[in-house]
Structure 1
Amino acid sequence: MSTPDRADVVRRLRAAGCVFAEDEADLLSTAARSPAELSAMVERRVSGLPLEHIVGWVDFCGLRVAVDPGVFVPRRRTELLVRRAAALARPGATVLDLACGSGAIGLAVAALVGDVVLYAVDIEPAAVRCARRNLAPLGGRVYAGDLYQPLPSRLHGRIDVLVANVPYVPSEAVELLPPEARLHEPLVALDGGDDGLDVLRRVAAGARDWLVPGGHLLLETSLEQAEVAVDVFDLAGLAPVVVTDDDLPATVVIGRR
């Protein structure tokens, strides 16, 4: 079988609504091991599957992070969360990545800091398998379960930096998300409840039990939700600050025990 013509691949991707059709065509061509596989990949992309699930990885904070089908794809805006967490984590720090998905945040923090003791948790079996593969080279331990529930009790009061990119899309807005996310990423990674902050409240409420004195909790949210999130942190006994990056755009609430 002849190799699909690049111009035709670009045309098909653009017709399917892919904004960066040329870049995607190059990525698919590089990932494919045969003309037949490239044709199949293009067909899957045109049908609406996320590019990252097709090629099997995402470029996040300059790292190639494995992302399996059915696993939340880390977004570029979450780089703010990574940068702020890394700035607070000294070498040797114990870092916990809750609702870790692929483990991308913990992986990127470890890459920036250079030496951390890394733990991660997710409730989705596909995410746990993916995160274990990504974090195994660092000795990271990944637990399956709901937020803090599966963590060993020996970690009580031992976490220096707790990061969590929990869902913060209000339930009624999930149907407005792009089909790539809505149809191919787990709902539990997208739906944050009535006001989008249900899971954030649970994470904040339990954080003091796991953080060292002076430890930090960092949570991504939207700018519109930040004021409510600050109140949640206050009620949880965490001194909050809000940081933003207009270029990404991104908003992170940081709480100090």
Structure 2
Amino acid sequence: MSLSQYLVRKIKNDAGTFAIQKETDQVAIEEPLIIRYSHSNFPEKLHNLATLLRTPTDDYHLACGFLFAEGYLDSPKHIEMTHYCDQDDAITIISDQLITIAERPHLTHSGCGSCALETLDNLYQHLSEVKQWIPSSEFLFELINQPPYQPLFQQSGGTHATLILDERVNVLSQDEDVGRHNALDKAIGKLWVKEELDQAKIAWVSGRVGFELVQKCINAGIPNLISIGAPTSLSIAYAKKYGLGLYAFARNKSVNQYC
């Protein structure tokens, strides 16, 4: 279930006259999901990798996309089994790939200073420069002028969306979630498990562009990222470093290109 109903008191102001009425409101559900890992040789040894606050849809693709984006797994062929535990709200990925369980420091930098870049480079050593593909202006404005269908957002107003498209503006994958990064992980995860990421040319996201979204596109080899929101300085710096085409403020018949 991705939406929940709540009773609200709606206050209206009509020409200085206030009226209150009871209505029901659709709200996007936000719940924690624990992602666990175990090696196939020692399935009883579980490691908690992360706890994500997400909308409970497509948890399998969310977990796969997260493990791929963070550099834990490099191919879906390494996944031997998955198990979902309702009691703990946890998904376990059992893999034959031995991964290093390392504590990752909490990043508090909001700028793109050299210390922040050095810290990120140490965390994401698996990244490499993307193979560039430059979209035409016609491609960009076909995407801008036809906003995607977002059913959860239309009902709740509280979710973000991701679309991943090919070179002909065909939608390859799409998803929604309360978290921007979760929506992108889900959309990437769908293509990753089908080994179809090589067809992806551009990712469209509905929120602002922080570093984590840029990093996930670079890791997936998606050459372009476009957003209706604003980028951060760190996201611009990392996009330039790895050759990612970065477009933001894609609305009102215009778009800013940063790379």
Higher helix share: 1
- TM-score surpassing 0.5? no
- Compute the TM-score of the two structures, normalised by the length of structure 1: 0.29
* TM-score, length basis structure 2: 0.29
Q: Which has the higher strand share?
A: 2
